[in-house]
Chains A and B, each alone.
Chain A
Amino acid sequence: MITNADLLALDGKPGDFTVKVRKRPRYIDADKCTACGLCTQYCPKHLSDAYNEGLSLTRPIHIDYAQAVPATYYIDPSACMSVQHDTCQICVPVCQSHAIDFSQQPEEVDIKVGAMVLSPGFGRIDDATLEKYSYGEHPDVVTAVEFERMTTASGPFLGEVKCFSDGRHPKSMAFIQCVGSRDLGCDNGYCSSVCCMYAIKEAMVAKEHDPEVDITVYYMDIRTQGKDFDKARERAENMGVKFIRAKVAGVTPWENQLRLTYSTLDGKHEFKPYDMVVLSVGLEAPKDAKGIAEMTGIELNHYDFAKTETFTPLNTSVEGVVVAGAFQGPKDIPESVTQASATAGIVAGMLEQQRGLGIVHKSYPDEKPMDEEVRIGVFVCHCGINIASVVDVRKVEDSVEGMDGVVYHTDSLYSCSADAVQTLKNKIIEHNLNRVVIAACSPRTHEPLFQETLRDAGLNRCLIEMVNIRDQCSWVHAGEPEAATDKSQDLLRMAVAKARGMRPLPEQTVPVTPKALVIGAGIAGMTVALTLAGQGFDSVLVEKGEKLGGSLGLLNHTLDADQTANHLKKLIAEVQASKHIDVLTNAELKDFSGFVGNFSSVITEGDGTEHTVDHGVVVLATGGHEHRPDGYLLEENDKVVTQTELEQQLAGDGKAPESIIMVQCAGSRGDDLNYCSKVCCNHAVKNALEIKELNPASQVIVLYRDMRTYGYAEDAYREARLKGVIFIPYDLDQKPQIAASPKGRKLTVKFFDVLLQEEVEMSPDMVALSVGIVPDGTEDLSKLLKAPLTDDRFFLEAHVKLRPVELPVSGVYVCGLAHGPKPVDETIAQAQAAAAKASIPLVKGKVGIDPIVSVIEEDTCIGCGICSSLCPFGAIEMFKKEKKRKARTIAASCKACGICSSRCPTFAIAMGGFTNEQIMDQISAFGNIQADEPVEA
């Protein structure tokens, strides 16, 4: 990790690049800094805190936030008096670890790498664009990022929402959408894709802070096109957040409030006063985009984001340089994470020959055999002032003196600092400790570090118990130091009691079958198989239909005018030529068993032939198809078609109708389907443009609820309007009505025109329905794989943001329409990501099993099967032993949630490290208070 550094140049060729980097001085030695914070207290100069969007002050010597990585302070040279004027240097003698070093100089290094990934993020909208909303002029107009800092509990106002002008809590708030997006005034013609969603989130958070606050969101279209995003809008509406479709002309100061001027679709101008206005600012290309382009040679698009192509969405114009995240185009966190994994997969393919050459393997000493004698060491942490300012750390530490098994105890300023970790290791060896209790912060963040130290000291990593006296004592009881100290002692005593029963748990690994099963051979499945093949891994590609290609085969071209057929043909040829890919068509998964690394599947072909395939991972790319809704005459009248049918018709005879009405969301968003299918608005715009191309005189009317042409598709939407396509919004309670004459020759469409404010009846030559996408066969697969589905029958990912292509079942991955509706470029990136994630166990060759898993005692088990039916991960299987039914844990699938153990009627199931005995010891230790301590209820 090289922070505080600039990219200067990129030379060479793929596989052999030289990158020139300048490391700027931090003026603090990262190895010595303990992040104690003393220097900041003594630094005499103030500085506006950029991390808090300038809402608070910090000092030139500071750290952005407590959890910052690296956890080293930093001196902002532009504000430091020593750097600027060679004076001051008060901090130098203050620092007890002598970490401050003003002699540091900028340093340039050349680094040789095989490939480069660009993920520089996005830039911020220029203040000039915000001026018309009185931003900068009136303090109660804030950007959404500033608002985000305001609501943060650890932010500058400790989570309090208040007006900067006079500190009052706002009673009314307005969110203004599309600030710096969809706005040619600031040359940002695109939609930033994320602002609607974050505005809804922030509005809901504001409502949580104060349920009485009146919130209105002023929008052009609400673009909540992501998976399950519409539900967030519904939740916000239920919480009382109002949505008004309007263009906001400006915001002006008005008495002690702000006056918002807006015009609605029916042409009315209105004014409304608000206490606070939040600007939903868009994402811009990074400020140094042009610099990056110059240094690396990559091309930018007309908005200065990295230029990429539909079918290679993450490749830049320079071979060996790929792009991920918002620099590829404005996007949200899940998509950025997906792209990130995808670029890892692409790079792994490029550098397949170099895999594993540069990494360092860590080795540990052998584990010491366990003595009978319990020798516990207790380490209590001050966490700087984080714990010690509330809890009396010395008193807590002293309380363990004389406890059964405790042979050593000490305290430390920061248990996690490099020197403290070394001390921990030394003390384990010196005092021959065989169990360690650390009273500090959260095991969620720090247990792995201490486990590593135990292993370094020759102890099994399960011989540690952590007590969280920071979150659970000093933080939550900050106002009651004595009670916090008492509680710390209670928790520590309980932990020592539990620690006595700790046993080493075995580190298990299972070998991985180096092969993948890919289900579905559309664009997603084929991309997965090819990405895996690029890394040298075999896969079996199973396709239900006769042909490869899937839904993309039904389309003629994309919105960017890429010809889909050519690409698909090329891809199919590559799949068929690959020696790493076995293709089975007319085939389906019939049976599935095993666990990550060791799955076994039975595939049947159309003629009944069965294949058993052993594989380490499985990727679901089963795709979807167009929904066919009732009530729109789709089946009854041949002049009513879906957008896909229209596209085929236009591509076929090249004849465009004289007049056509398109109906968006036919059957979607609360109709038969509950969700937005993300692609239909683009599809409608694409077909509308094609019709205008073929027949400029054609009358094209699009009836919509929200036009969701997010990202660069906004350009096409604008072009369609300029070419005379008419877009008219409709409300759910006034849905367009389609009828046909008795013989079906004449169609009539009735709808309410909000522009004219009256009901209109028209008779177009054709009606095209934007119908939405439903997933294929997910229900059967869900049962077979024990992989959960969403309410809308798409596969449910393990974590929406952080693990977007993994399913909760280890070794199972998802991409494409099986995950949710999405356009082809997103599908390809997601498929590359799924392939990258799936290749991790294949690369490693073995999967490590976390030692904390459930263990079932066979003799006590009565084979009732409750545990197996309740296990959310399919990690308990039933088997027969001497005609008796018994349960057993598949350790590789177990996530140690403990549900099985808590439900077992005969107490046959114990969790490693959390046995019933240990928990009972812990509970009795809670009651067992030494006489001199006060008893608190």
Chain B
Amino acid sequence: MGKGMEYRAGSVMVVGGGIAGIQTALDLTELGYYVYLLEKAPVVGGVMAQLDKTFPTNDCSL
């Protein structure tokens, strides 16, 4: 992406790349929109990536 102005019709800005932001971005893409997923940390994933296991399946959260 270059400097200055970005323009694309049908695009949406999602602020925050935790589980909610990622899911929103995925669903919006499926629904036909271009998504900018903005995250202040160097990686996406948020707090869920820190969790060991999640209830009830005790799946690994990653």
Give the B-binding residues of A (Cβ under 8 A): 1-7, 17, 19, 21, 26, 51, 53, 63-65, 67-70, 72, 74, 107, 109-122, 145, 148-149, 151-153, 155, 197-198, 200-201, 205, 228-229, 231-232, 292, 324-327, 333, 336-337, 339-341, 343-345, 347-348, 351, 354-360, 535, 799-801, 836-837, 839-840, 843-844
Contacts and interface: CB of A to CB of B under 8 A. Distances in A.
Interface string B10-46: 1111111111111110011111111011111111111
Contacts of B18: 119-121, 325, 336
A110 B13 CA distance: 12
23 contacts: A1-B36, A3-B39, A4-B41, A51-B49, A68-B43, A109-B4, A110-B5, A110-B6, A111-B13, A114-B10, A115-B13, A119-B24, A121-B18, A145-B47, A149-B50, A201-B54, A325-B21, A336-B18, A341-B27, A357-B9, A358-B11, A535-B31, A843-B30
A336 B7 CA distance: 29
Contact of B19 (A6, A65, A115, A333): A333
**In this complex, which of B12, B22, B47 has the most chain A Cβ atoms within 10 angstroms of its Cβ?**
B12
Contacts of B20: 119, 121, 324-326, 336-337, 339-340
Interface residues of B, number: 56
Contact of A5 (B4, B32, B39, B53): B39
Nearest to B37: A1
Query: Which secondary structure characterizes the binding site on chain B?
Result: mixed
A119 B24 CA distance: 9
Contacts of A333: 19, 48, 54
B42 A74 contact: yes
A119 B15 contact: yes
Contact of B5 (A112, A119, A348): A112
Contacts of A145: 47, 50
Contact of B32 (A113, A228, A356): A356
B27 A837 contact: yes
Contact of B13 (A113, A799, A839, A840): A113
Given A325-B19, A836-B27, A800 B56 contact: yes
A69 B27 contact: no
A337 B9 CA distance: 26
Contacts of B51: 148, 152
Contact of B42 (A3, A113, A118): A3
A340 B19 contact: yes
Given A26-B42, A347-B28, A837-B27, A113 B12 contact: yes
B38 A801 contact: no
Contacts of A355: 10, 31-33
The 4 closest A-B pairs by CB, nearest first: A325-B20, A358-B34, A340-B23, A344-B27
B21 to A, nearest CB: 4
Contacts of A345: 27, 31
Given A51-B50, A151-B52, A339-B20, A840 B14 contact: no
Contacts of A64: 42-43, 49
A68 B50 CA distance: 11
Given A5-B38, A339-B20, A357-B10, 5 more contacts: A1-B17, A119-B24, A336-B20, A357-B8, A840-B31
B19 A336 contact: yes
A117 B39 contact: no
Nearest to A67: B62
Contact of B10 (A232, A358, A800): A358
B47 A121 contact: yes
Contacts of A69: 43-45
Nearest to B20: A325
A120 B46 CA distance: 9
Contacts of A197: 55
B30 to A, nearest CB: 5
A4 B42 contact: yes
Given A359-B34, A840-B27, A121 B10 contact: no
Nearest to A801: B54
Contacts of B27: 340-341, 344-345, 836-837, 840
A19 B6 CA distance: 10
**In this complex, which of B24, B49, B51, B59 has the most chain A Cβ atoms within 10 angstroms of its Cβ?**
B24
B16 A327 contact: yes
A64 B39 CA distance: 15
Contacts of B55: 197-198, 200-201, 229, 232
Nearest to A3: B39
Given A69-B43, A121-B16, A359-B29, A148 B11 contact: no
Contacts of A155: 52
A359 B35 CA distance: 9
A5 B16 contact: no
Given A116-B15, A336-B19, A337-B19, A2 B36 contact: yes
Contacts of A6: 40
Contacts of B50: 51, 53, 145, 148-149
A644 B17 CA distance: 41
Contacts of B52: 148-149, 151-153, 155, 205
A110 B8 CA distance: 12
A343 B56 CA distance: 25
Contacts of B9: 114, 354, 357-358
Contact of A3 (B1, B4, B44): B44
Contacts of A19: 13, 36
Nearest to A841: B30
A51 B48 CA distance: 11
A136 B24 CA distance: 37
B56 to A, nearest CB: 6
B43 to A, nearest CB: 4
